[in-house]
Chains A and B, each alone.
Chain A
Amino acid sequence: MNSSNSRVRLSVVGAIIISLFSILFVRLWFLQVVSPETYAAATKANRIRVISEPAIRGNILDRNGKVIVKSELVNSVQVRRGITEEERKVMVPNLAKAIGKTKEYVNSRLDSVKFSPYQPVPIITNVPYDTMVYIKERPEDFPRVDVVRRSIRVYPDGSIAPHLLGYVAAINKQDQKLFPNAKYGPEENIGKDGVERMFETELRGVPRERKFEVDSRGRLIRVLKDRPAVVGNDVQLTVDLDVQRVTQESLEQGMRAAGGLKNTGEKRRYENFKATGGAAIVIDARDGSVIALASAPAFDVTRFTDGIPIEEYAKIKDPASNFPLLNRVTQGQYAPASTWKLFTSIAALETGVVTPEEVIYDRGFVEFGNPPQRFNNAQKQPHGVVTLSKALTVSSDVYYYTMGFRFWKFFSNRNANPENLAKGYAIQNVAKRFGFGKPTGIGLSNEASGRIPDESIKIQYNQNSPDPFAKEWLPGDSANLAVGQGDLLVTPLQEAIAYGAFANGGTIYSPRLAKAILSPGGAKILRELPIEKRGQVKLSAAIRDAILPGLIGASLPNGSGTASAAFSGYQGMEVAGKTGTAQVNNKQDTSVYAAIVNPNPPPDTDQPQYVVVVFVEQGGFGGSVAAPIARRIIEALNGNPNPASVRLVSQRDD
């Protein structure tokens, strides 16, 4: 080995070292000079902890300012993080005993991954004052346990309008997506449904936000920022607390009573009614305000204040409970039965297939087609000579089947004259104008659309049917549609809005749940929530005047109407209401009632005008169950906050 060879090799080693150092220099340049900003943000997040404490949530008030939901500070037990094994051994049995829970319960809370690792673990909300004192006096028995004040939802009148209010519960991922710009803590409560969800941003307020600098072990170094909380705004609903309470009660009373009623109908005779579900809605016909909304069975919203126990939630979800979470007012879809005759009447008068004065003889049935097919009245009862008005009052199916056939004739001749199709589909067209077949836009989740049947719907639904008639619009379809049966489906809310449009002369309102946003404590109005018109229906005064007496007759106290018995002895604002009894495959009949309260207020007065709609699934005749429920609600609208209990009517007529 000569020395020049060794020198060459040393030079190679030197070159390798130079290249290694160059790599380091370049990497340093990149890290520290080219792109330090992106890293700076990352390290900042490292040592800055933001702790947010929810503000006190705003109240929800009724239309008169009465509190339906408020927030209250309660004593809540929580355990600080960083507990040692020894501390835990001491604390868990003591705490379990003090709060009356099992050790397993306390341990499961402590070990739950649901809670933030930086914040104390909430163990139980709302402990009595004595428990708080007991725990606070014995810190050695309860290491790391704190009793703090926390805000929870309180319902002074119990579970009022749960389907309308919704509830609050810990936020989840889907909720977070709906409010992408709002920062929520990992276990912060959020409005889950109903008004609590719709007005979440108003009710929530602004959380207290504290920024801390911490070291790598999470120890506090200094407070960087402390922004105080801003209490949430109040929301004033259009709901009237008293009417709402009466509505809920009445629906439940009526359904319970229906369970004691024997079915006298043709099918499933002599069973008791099951009354598996019901819906009741009251709106102000003048502006679409929702005065009361009840769906039964209901859930107890007060059970949701501190996280509903799993077994209780499982029971709610059990089909045997008939789906209490379902809001049947907006999500229930039913055949409206004879209450639909209002819209058939409008269609018939507008197209001129009948005049108010035309007399039709009702023998209890009508035959149509070749070979003739027989269509019966309920109970095959004959009504004799009927005009439009009487047909509504006594609910003559024969009259409306006849209307249906007249429409169908236009439909069958639709190719002869382009106007015939419009006349053939006159009921469907009226229904569309009055808002059926699409959601009303109330803002509550998963509102149903309902269904207005026509030939295209039949084709769509019976695509794979081998029966050629399944895809054709037949006379029977027109006849069934005329009496609110067949493939027709409406939601109680759609029905109420449409009846309201008839009552107010043709304005379709969007249902309105809230009147105003108020400053915390309701001191001042921050924002009035507008009345929204969704459409204006052409409704001639002549047609309205021709139809209304029939509806008034149907509910006339001590009269001959189908709801007369239900309104026996009633005094108060005039009621124009129609009963309905819908036949449902494999189920007992749906009991329906829809009414306009104060249909003809004197002009230039601001007398109220309401619409009340009641549906009871498997409840029997409209006049025997739904109408008596509605009557009690109407008593409340007349200013009686505690009307006599619902008295069902034993009736054999629709």
Chain B
Amino acid sequence: MATAFESIPTNARRRRGSRSTGVNSWSENLDWWLIGSVLGLIALGFMMIYSSSRSIVTEDPWYFVKRQGAALIVSVIVFFVIMRIDYRRFSGYSLAAYLGTCIALFLVLTPIGSDSRGAQAWFQLPFGFQLQPSEFAKVVLIIALAGFVNQHRGEIDPWRLTLIVGVALIPLGLVQLQPDLGTNMVLLSMVVGLLAVAGVKGRYLLVLGLLAITGVFIIANLGILKQYQVDRLTVVIDGGDKTEGAAYNQDQSEKTIATGGLTGQGLLKGPQTRLGFVPEQHTDFIFTAAGEEFGFAGTSLILTLFAIVMWRTWRIARLSSDFYGTLICSGVLAVFAFMIFENIGMTMGVMPITGIPLPFMSYGGSSLLTSVACIALVANVHANRFS
């Protein structure tokens, strides 16, 4: 089996122009800019999870941190597992992965899945853990669609385009039945990002974009969405009643970030965070906690770390030895770019609230695992860039 580990020494040797002793050296195989930034974001995420969640479970202030720690351990294991497999081998499993995801997304809608916060989106696991298949769908669809697009590179005519979109629409439709508009918007941006890099003609992309926007409008107006989701979407546009619901959430979030000022109130010292005025602050609104406690200094650090992750992913996409690697990295890039912009944007009132977590930082095992898996794919492409 040609694993990533077998090929890495070769890359290293070639790059330095001298023979390696054959010892696997992590420092040479990994993009430390990428991994370092991700580790930094995860560390900041843990601080903010502690700060914003310690008053929720009064008996155990570390409750959420512990659970996130467990998810982190699983994520690290998954990272190494993915790293051990040459990404090019994933291509062969595209169809199986795709079908598996669709089945999981279907099963979660049946009584096997469970309902929480208005969406039928979770599998209940032992020890109170939950699994959210729509999160993993992000990773799997990147692999599957990248493989599909890669097979048809350079010849994506309207017919193939329709096929690709049709393939993407099945999981999207299943996610919409939960309903989870946020995840679908992430998936959509991923499809568009992949197709854009794949070389689909500009006008097709334009048509696709218009269709997507129309689709969102139809979904919003057909009553498929729950009222709170419509409210969240429209609140940025019409302002809304700032004392309750989505508008309250956004209003509080903006104010909380603003009170951080230049240097912040200090870790564990933000009154808004400490007193729980921003709902969902340890999950989707984690950025507000950082904004209040670390101020502009902290938030710009977070943005910078994300920017480095974007930059390195983009760079790896360019340097990939094959087009499949470029496509995978582009998918990851699109997913992260959209999630970061949407999540941070909604906390500052420039985007509607859609319930998308902030990669690496928000509390939530499935989310952390998915984000790490995405980075593992990118790191994998990087490690194999010369082979």
Q: What is the CB-to-nearest-CB distance from A47 to chain B, in angstroms, rounded to a whole number? A: 5
Q: Is A445's beta carbon under 8 Å from chain B?
A: no
Residue-by-residue, is B267-308 near A (CB-CB < 8 Å gives 1, otherwise 0)? Answer: 000011011110000000000000100011001100100110
30 cross-chain CB contacts under 8 A:
A1-B154, A1-B199, A5-B199, A6-B197, A6-B198, A6-B326, A10-B326, A13-B196, A13-B314, A17-B310, A17-B314, A20-B341, A21-B341, A24-B303, A27-B348, A28-B300, A28-B303, A31-B291, A31-B348, A32-B257, A32-B260, A33-B296, A36-B260, A39-B255, A39-B259, A43-B252, A43-B256, A43-B271, A214-B275, A215-B275
| Cβ proximity bits B29-58 to A, threshold 8 Å, 1 near / 0 not | 000000000000000000000000001000
Given contacts A28-B296, A32-B295, A39-B255, contact A9 B196 (CB under 8 A): yes
Q: Would you call A35 an interface residue if the criterion is a C-beta within 8 Å of the partner chain's C-beta atoms? A: yes
Contact B197 A23 (CB under 8 A): no
Identity of the chain A residue whose Cβ is nearest the Cβ of B155 in the assembled complex? A1
- Report whether B199 and A6 are in contact in the complex, using a CB–CB cutoff of 8 Å: yes
CA distance A6 to B194 in the complex (A): 11
Instruction: List residues of chain A with CB within 8 A of the CB of B198.
Output: 1, 6
Q: Is the CB of B272 within 8 A of A21?
A: no
A419 → chain B closest CB, angstroms: 73
B235, CB-defined interface residue at 8 Å: no
Within the assembled complex, what's the spacing in Å between the Cα atoms of A7 and B329?
A: 13
Question: Quick one: which of B255, B323, B330 contacts A43, CB cutoff 8 A?
Answer: B255
Q: Judge if B165 is at the interface, Cβ distance under 8 Å.
A: no
Give Cα A355 to B258, complex, Å: 88
Contacting residues, chain B, for A35 (C-beta < 8 A): 258
With contacts A13-B193, A47-B275 taken as known, whether A27 is within 8 angstroms of B350 at the C-beta atoms is: yes
Chain B residues, CB < 8 A from A585: none
Q: CB of A14 within 8 A of chain B?
A: yes
Residues of B within 8 A of A29 (CB): 296
Q: Which residues of A contact B262 (CB under 8 A)?
A: 32-33, 36
Residue of B nearest to A7 (CB): B318
Q: Is the CB of B345 within 8 A of A24?
A: yes
Q: Does B180 touch A at the CB level, under 8 Å?
A: no
Residues in B with CB closer than 8 Å to A47 are: 271-272, 275, 277
Which residues on the B side are within 8 Å of A32 (C-beta)?
A: 257-258, 260-262, 291, 295-296, 299
Kindly provide the distance from the CB of A242 to the nearest chain B CB, expressed in whole angstroms. 56
In the complex, whether B86 has a CB less than 8 A from a CB of chain A is no
Interface of A is mostly: helix
Is there a chain B Cβ closer than 8 Å to A97's Cβ? no
Q: Which residues of B contact A27 (CB under 8 A)?
A: 345, 348, 350
Q: Looking at A21, A25, A29, A215, which has the most chain B CB atoms within 10 Å of its CB? A: A21
Please state if A43 and B300 are interface contacts (CB–CB under 8 Å).
Answer: no
Q: Is the CB of B337 within 8 A of A25?
A: no
Task: Name the distance in Å between B174's Cβ and chain A's nearest Cβ.
Answer: 27
Can you name 19 extra interface pairs (CB under 8 A) apart from A36-B260, A38-B258? A1-B198, A3-B323, A10-B330, A13-B197, A17-B314, A21-B310, A24-B341, A24-B350, A27-B350, A31-B291, A32-B261, A32-B291, A43-B252, A46-B277, A47-B272, A215-B275, A215-B276, A216-B277, A221-B275
CB distance from B237 to the nearest CB of A (A): 17
| B135 interface contact, C-beta 8 A | no
Q: Give the complex CA separation of A214 and B340 in angstroms.
A: 32
Nearest CB of A to B146, in Å? 13
- CB contacts (< 8 Å) of B231 on chain A: these are none
Q: In the assembly, what is the distance between CA of A5 and CA of B156, in Å?
A: 14
The reply to whether the CB of A308 lies closer than 8 angstroms to some CB of chain B is: no
Is B333 within 8 A of A13, CB to CB?
Answer: yes
Residues of B within 8 A of A28 (CB): 257, 291, 296, 299-300, 303, 348
Closest to A24 in B: B344
Q: What mask results when residues 185 to 196 of chain B are scored 1 for a CB within 8 Å of chain A, else 0?
A: 000000001001
Q: How far does the alpha carbon of A32 sit from the alpha carbon of B333 in the complex, in Å?
A: 28
Residues on B with beta carbons closer than 8 Å to the beta carbon of A24: 303, 340-341, 344-345, 348, 350
Asked if residues A25 and B303 are in contact (CB atoms below 8 Å), the reply is yes
Contacts of B255 in A (CB 8 A): 39, 42-43, 46
Name the CB-closest residue of A to B323: A6
A217 within 8 A of B: yes
A25 touches B261 (CB 8 A): no
Q: Is the CB of A43 within 8 A of B348?
A: no
Name the interface residues of B312-333: CB closer than 8 Å to any CB of A. Answer: 314, 317-318, 323, 326, 330, 333
Distance in angstroms from B3 CB to nearest chain A CB is 27
Residues on A with C-beta less than 8 A from B277 are 43, 46-47, 215-216
Write the chain B residue with the least CB distance to A5: B199
Interchain CA distance A214-B299 in the complex, whole Å: 27
Q: How far is the CA of A40 from the CA of B270 in the complex (A)?
A: 12
Q: Check if A12 is an interface residue, CB within 8 A of chain B.
A: yes
Render A24-60 as a binary contact track against B, CB cut-off 8 A, 1 for contact. Answer: 1101110111011011101100110000000000000
In the assembly, what is the distance between CA of A13 and CA of B336, in Å? 12
- CB contacts (< 8 Å) of A42 on chain B: these are 255
Interface centre among A9, A24, A47 (most CB of B within 10 A): A24
Report the Cα distance A9→B198, complex, angstroms. Answer: 8
Asked, given contacts A6-B323, A21-B307, whether A14 binds B257 with beta carbons under 8 Å apart, the answer is no
B153 within 8 A of A: yes
Partner of A13, one of B296, B306, B334: B334
- With A and B bound together, what is the CA distance between A7 and B319 in angstroms? 10
How far does the alpha carbon of A185 sit from the alpha carbon of B272 in the complex, in Å? 26
**CB distance A46 to B296 under 8 Å?**
no
Q: CA of A397 to CA of B145 in the docked complex: distance in angstroms?
A: 114
B-side contacts of A213, CB under 8 Å: 271, 275
A36 and B333 form a contact (CB under 8 A): no
User: How far apart are the CA atoms of A5 and B202 in the complex, in Å?
Assistant: 12
> Which chain A positions have C-beta within 8 A of B337?
16-17, 20
Question: What are the residues of chain B within 8 A of A14 when measuring CB–CB?
Answer: 314
Chain A residue numbers with a CB within 8 Å of B271 are 43, 47, 213
> Which B102-143 residues have C-beta < 8 A from chain A?
none
Interface centre among A3, A38, A42 (most CB of B within 10 A): A42
Residue on B nearest A45 in the bound complex, by CB: B255
Measured between beta carbons, the chain B residues less than 8 angstroms from A7 are 318
Closest to A26 in B: B350
Give per-residue flags for A443-469: 1 if the beta carbon is below 8 A from chain B beta carbons, else 0: 000000000000000000000000000
A36 x B259 contact (CB < 8 A): yes
Instruction: Determine how close the nearest CB of chain B comes to the CB of A219; give it in whole angstroms.
Output: 9
Are B345's CB and A36's CB within 8 A? no
Q: Looking at the complex, which one of B199, B274, B303 makes contact with A21 (CB distance below 8 Å)? A: B303
Q: Are A10 and B275 in contact (CB under 8 A)?
A: no
CB contact between A216 and one of B196, B261, B275, B291 (< 8 Å): that residue: B275
- In the assembled complex, the Cα of A29 lies from the Cα of B258 at a distance in Å of 9
Residues of B within 8 A of A13 (CB): 193, 196-197, 314, 330, 333-334
Bound together, the chains give a CA A540 to CA B256 distance in angstroms of 78
| Bound-state Cα–Cα, A12 to B333, Å | 13
* Residues in chain B near residue A6, CB distance under 8 A: 197-199, 323, 326
B residues 330-359 near A (Cβ < 8 Å) are 330, 333-334, 337, 340-341, 344-345, 348, 350
* A345-388 with Cβ < 8 A to chain B: none
Q: Is the CB of B196 within 8 A of A12?
A: yes
The 9 closest A-B pairs by CB, nearest first: A39-B258, A1-B154, A215-B275, A32-B296, A1-B199, A216-B276, A20-B341, A39-B255, A36-B261
Residues of A within 8 A of B256 (CB): 43
Whose C-beta in chain B lies nearest to the C-beta of A2?
Answer: B154
A89 to B300, CA, bound (A): 54
Tell me which residues across on chain B come within 8 A of A12, comparing CB atoms: 196
Q: When the two chains form their complex, are residues A217 and B276 in contact, meaning their CB atoms are under 8 A apart?
A: yes
Structural contact, A33 and B326, CB atoms closer than 8 A: no
The minimal Cβ–Cβ distance linking B105 to chain A, given in whole angstroms, is: 27
Residue numbers in A under 8 Å from B345 (CB-CB): 23-24, 27
A211-231: which have CB < 8 Å to B? 213-217, 221
Q: How far is the CB of A248 from chain B (nearest CB, A)?
A: 51
Residue among A17, A38, A215, A216 making CB contact with B333, cutoff 8 Å: A17
In the complex, chain A residues whose CB is within 8 Å of the CB of B341 = 20-21, 23-24
